[in-house]
């Protein structure tokens, strides 16, 4: 299975947070799954870090690449195709980072790993 991790899913995974569901843990743990991280999530983390809303042990540009590599997660860049699709999505979700993640999952045929209930309103396979 090809899995796109929502920002919180990845952060909860690397911190072993209790909010991460057992299903999500098993999906991430399964070495047969290919894991992806959106560059939109990197942007979101960088902004929250700069605002002091997300403490990290190091700057995002140092911390995230190390954690992604350590956890065998491939970075998924944003393309024009993703951007155009995100712009056409119904307005169920207003967060631009989440809209981009939804668009990437839909256009790349990825399963989205997220606990956000608004994601279920889109034509995307969401697991939690």
Domain boundaries, the chain: 2-127
2-127 — its CATH code? 3.40.50.1010
Question: Considering the entire predicted model, what is its pTM?
Answer: 0.93
CA of 81: how far to CAs of 16, 72, 78, 102, in Å? Answer: 34, 25, 8, 12
Burial 76-113 (b: 16+ CB within 10 A, else e): bebeeebeebbeebeeebeeebbbbbbbbbbeeebbbb
Instruction: For 70-128, write each residue's pLDDT tens digit.
Output: 999 999 999 999 999 999 998 887 899 999 999 999 999 999 999 999 999 998 999 99
The label of the residue with tokens 């140092």 reads 62
Instruction: For 56-65, write each residue's pLDDT tens digit.
Output: 999 999 999 9
The label of the residue with tokens 């396979």 reads 125
């Amino acid at each position: 299975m090809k899995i796109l991790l929502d920002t919180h899913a990845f952060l909860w995974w690397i911190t072993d947070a209790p909010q991460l569901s057992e299903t999500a843990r098993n999906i991430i743990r399964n070495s047969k799954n290919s894991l992806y991280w959106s560059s939109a999530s990197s942007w979101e983390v960088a902004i929250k870090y700069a605002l002091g809303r997300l403490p990290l042990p190091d700057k995002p540009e140092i911390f995230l690449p190390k954690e992604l590599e350590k956890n065998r997660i491939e970075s998924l860049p944003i393309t024009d195709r993703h951007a155009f699709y995100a712009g056409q999505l119904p307005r169920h979700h207003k967060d631009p980072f989440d809209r981009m993640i939804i668009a990437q999952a839909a256009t790349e045929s990825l399963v989205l790993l997220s606990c956000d209930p608004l994601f279920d309103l889109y034509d995307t396979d969401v697991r939690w």
